[in-house]
C-alpha cells in the first residue's frame, strides 16, 4: 500500500498557513482537477480526491491538531472517519459552489438569509398614472424582541449539541457512500438552548404583523414588481440577513380610459352634424377637461392625438399621448321638423350611398 503524501505538500502551503490560504490553495486545485473538467482522467480524479482529503483535515482545527502531532496514523487512531472518501469530496463541493454560485452544501450552519415575501397590491388607474403611497400590513417571521434573537431566556450561551457534537449533521453509511443529514436534535445549528425563551420557545423568531410604507412610482402597470430590500423575513440566525419584500401591482380598469403602454385611449360620441361641420367639444383628460376641435368631414373611427397627455414612462419619465377615437352616434328620436329637414338634405345629397350603388350597377 502506497504511503500517503503530506497534506501541506498536497495543497502547496506552509505548515503555519492560515485558513484563508488553505481555502485559496484548495480552490485552485479543486477547479483544476475537478472530474467535470477532466472526464475519464483517473490521475486528475485522484488528485482531486487527494486535495479534498487534505483540505477537509487541515480546515478542521481538531483534526489539524491531531495530524500535526501524530500524522496520518493519529487520525485513524482517534477514530475519525477516513478522509478522502465521498463524505469529504461532497463537503468540498460545498465550498466551491458557495463561492462561485452563492449557495453552499455540507454545512447547514452557514449564514442564512431570511425568506423573501410577496404581496399583491391593487390600485386605481389614476394612482398608477400619477403614483401614490400605500401602507400595507405584512405578516412575517421577525427577530424575537424578548431574547433579542438569542433564543435563550437567560444570558447563557447555547450548548454544543451532544448528539452531533456541534457539527449539525449526522453521517450515515449506505454501502459505499457516506450520506450527511441534518441533525434533528439541534436542527443543524450544532447547539441547543438549555433554557429557551418563553416567547419564541427557542426559535429566535416570532410571527408578527408589520406595517410597511410602499411608494408607488408614476407609470406602474399591471404586473409591475416593486422590491423593498430587507422587508422580508428576518434570518434564522444572527449572522444572516433579512429577505426582501416583492410587491406585485394590479391596476383596476378605468370607465373611460384604456391604457396602451404610455398612451391612453378614449372613445367619444359625436353627432353626424358635428362630424360633417366640425365643432369644438370638451373632452376629459388625465389632468382635467380640455377643449378639442373636431375638424370638418370627420369620419367614423377617425383618431386624433393629444401630445404629452398620456402616462409617464417608468424609465424615461416622458409622457405618452392621449388618443381620441371618434364614434358617430345616430339619433334615435327625431321630431317632425327634424325628419323633414333630413329628407330635404337627402334630396340634395349627391354623394349618398344609394347613388353610388346605382352607378356601380350601371358599370357592371
User: Where would I find the beta strands (DSSP E) of the chain?
Assistant: 117-123, 132-143, 159-160, 169-174, 177-182, 191-192, 205-216, 225-228, 245-251, 258-260, 263-271, 279-285, 288-294, 303-306, 322-329
* Rounded-to-integer distance, Cα 17 and Cα 5, Å: 17
Q: Rounded to an integer, what distance in angstroms lies between the CA atom of residue 14 and that of residue 21?
A: 9
**Beta 245-251 vs 117-123: how paired, if at all?**
parallel
Label residue 108 left, alpha or beta by phi (over 0 means left) and psi (-120 to 50 means alpha).
Answer: alpha
pLDDT of residue 364: 56
Could you tell me which residues are beta bridge partners of residue 135? 213
Please give the model's pTM, rounded to 2 decimal places.
Answer: 0.57
The rounded distance, in Å, linking the Cα atoms of 364 and 358 is: 10
- The C-alpha atoms of residue 289 and residue 283 are separated, in whole angstroms, by 6
302 φ/ψ angles, rounded to the nearest 5 degrees: -60, 145
Per-residue confidence (pLDDT) for residue 352, from 0 to 100: 63
The strand pair at 263-271 and 322-329 is best described as parallel
Alpha carbons 274 and 269: distance in angstroms, whole number: 10
Q: Evaluate whether 7-101 and 258-363 have a shared fold.
A: no
State how far the alpha carbon of 278 is from the alpha carbons of 173, 222, 273, in Å: 90, 37, 8
CA angle 176, 42, 79 (to 5 degrees): 40
pLDDT, tens digit, 9 for 90 and up, residues 123-161: 999 999 999 999 999 998 888 887 877 777 876 777 888
CB atoms within 10 A of CB 36: 5
Q: Domain 7-101: give its CATH architecture.
A: Orthogonal Bundle (1.10)
CB atoms within 10 A of CB 280: 9
The ranges of the chain with pLDDT < 70 are 1-2, 76-111, 155, 172-178, 238-239, 350-364
CATH number of the structural domain 258-363: 2.60.260.20
Closest CA to 88 of 38, 51, 42: 51
Local structure of residue 334 (DSSP, 8 states): -
Supply 332's cell numbers: 334615435
- Domains of the chain, by residue range, sit at 7-101, 258-363
Amino acid at each position: 500500500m502506497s504511503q500517503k503524501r503530506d497534506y501541506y505538500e498536497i495543497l502547496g502551503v506552509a505548515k503555519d498557513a492560515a485558513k484563508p490560504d488553505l481555502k485559496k490553495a484548495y480552490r485552485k486545485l479543486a477547479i483544476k482537477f475537478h472530474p467535470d473538467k477532466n472526464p475519464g482522467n483517473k490521475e486528475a480524479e485522484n488528485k482531486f480526491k487527494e486535495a479534498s482529503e487534505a483540505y477537509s483535515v487541515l480546515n478542521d482545527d481538531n483534526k489539524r491538531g491531531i495530524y500535526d502531532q501524530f500524522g496520518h496514523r493519529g487520525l485513524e487512531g482517534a477514530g475519525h472517519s477516513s478522509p478522502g472518501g465521498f463524505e469529504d469530496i461532497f463537503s468540498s463541493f460545498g465550498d466551491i459552489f458557495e463561492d462561485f454560485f452563492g449557495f453552499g452544501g455540507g454545512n447547514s450552519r452557514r449564514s442564512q438569509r431570511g425568506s423573501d415575501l410577496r404581496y399583491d397590491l391593487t390600485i386605481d388607474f389614476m394612482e398608477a398614472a400619477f403614483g401614490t403611497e400605500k401602507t400595507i400590513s405584512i405578516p412575517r417571521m421577525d427577530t424575537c424582541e424578548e431574547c433579542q434573537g438569542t433564543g435563550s431566556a437567560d444570558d447563557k450561551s447555547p450548548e454544543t449539541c451532544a448528539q452531533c457534537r456541534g457539527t449539525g449533521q449526522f453521517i450515515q453509511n449506505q454501502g459505499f457512500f457516506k450520506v450527511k443529514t441534518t441533525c434533528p436534535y439541534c436542527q443543524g445549528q450544532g447547539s441547543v438552548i438549555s433554557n429557551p425563551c418563553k416567547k419564541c420557545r427557542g426559535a429566535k423568531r416570532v410571527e408578527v404583523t408589520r406595517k410597511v410604507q410602499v411608494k408607488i412610482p408614476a407609470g406602474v402597470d399591471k404586473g409591475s414588481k416593486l422590491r423593498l430590500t430587507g422587508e422580508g423575513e428576518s434570518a434564522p440566525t444572527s449572522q444572516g440577513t433579512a429577505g426582501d419584500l416583492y410587491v406585485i401591482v394590479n391596476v383596476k380598469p378605468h370607465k373611460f380610459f384604456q391604457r396602451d403602454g404610455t398612451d391612453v385611449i378614449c372613445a367619444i360620441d359625436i353627432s353626424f352634424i358635428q362630424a360633417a361641420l366640425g365643432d369644438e367639444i370638451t373632452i376629459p383628460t388625465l389632468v382635467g377637461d380640455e377643449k378639442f376641435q373636431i375638424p370638418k368631414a370627420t369620419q367614423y373611427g377617425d383618431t386624433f392625438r393629444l401630445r404629452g397627455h398620456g402616462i409617464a414612462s417608468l424609465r424615461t419619465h416622458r409622457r405618452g399621448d392621449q388618443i381620441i377615437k371618434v364614434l358617430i352616434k345616430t339619433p334615435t328620436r327625431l321630431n317632425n321638423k327634424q325628419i323633414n329637414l333630413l329628407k330635404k338634405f337627402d334630396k340634395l345629397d349627391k354623394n349618398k350611398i344609394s347613388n353610388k350603388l346605382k352607378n356601380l350597377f350601371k358599370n357592371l
